[in-house]
Structure 1
């Protein structure tokens, strides 16, 4: 019997540190990140400047990541998800939120 929660998006993450995020794009996949971020973090809000965000989603030029790859870096205050495409950002978002649970 599996203990995996297949409805993880219905569960709110109670981590007050990740209530602000920066996401510059507006592709359909980036809109999905916005929608799902709000579903997971009840008090989440998108900010206009990276310097105001606890979680940053960045499109970067990095051939080693490929089309769907992502890189996650952490400091004491900020988590940055970097990818070359919106698909990579979405996968990085899923990976990051799963690790915050």
Structure 2
């Protein structure tokens, strides 16, 4: 997929955390399970889209799909952890900075 795995993992986790925070702040009515699933799996479209590049077709082999599943699991976990530290606007807890 991408030559440097550490960069891919870091970028994927950052995209998942950013999406989780954005969805939580913009649309707090979305439940946490749907938000974590969306935030964890949506960056996978970007990763697989980079495989396309200028090619008309791309074949995803078993290792590509296994790596994609691992990245999706990492994204869901990152979104869950991000949700623990950054409460949404619908939470009853108040932030100390307000």
Structure-1-length-normalised TM-score: 0.27
Question: For the pair shown, which has the larger CA radius of gyration, 1 or 2?
Answer: 2
Whose strand fraction is larger, Structure 1's or Structure 2's? Answer: 1
Structure with more relative contact order (C-alpha pairs < 8 Å, separation 6 or more):
2
